Amino acid sequence: MIPLAHLGHWSWVFYVIPVAIVIAGIVRSTLEERRRKRGGGGKGRR
């Protein structure tokens, strides 16, 4: 078990994971928008 005194060294993980999820969502939506504008259509259209 990790001693609690050293837990602060790993606290950055709790900030990096949500930021990475948000960035991945932005990149994904940007790529989908480019595909739509290019005329790909694909799954997004109904």
For 23-41, the pLDDT digits (tens) are 999 999 999 999 999 886 5
Question: Quick check: 4 pLDDT over 90?
Answer: no
Q: What is the mean pLDDT of the chain?
A: 82
Q: Which of 44, 14, 39, 12 is nearest to 28 (CA)?
A: 44
Report the pLDDT value the prediction gives residue 8, as an integer from 0 to 100: 77
Question: Quick check: 2 pLDDT over 60?
Answer: no
Answer whether 32's CB lies under 8 Å from 45's CB. Answer: no
* 10 contact partners, CB below 8 Å, separation of at least 6: 2
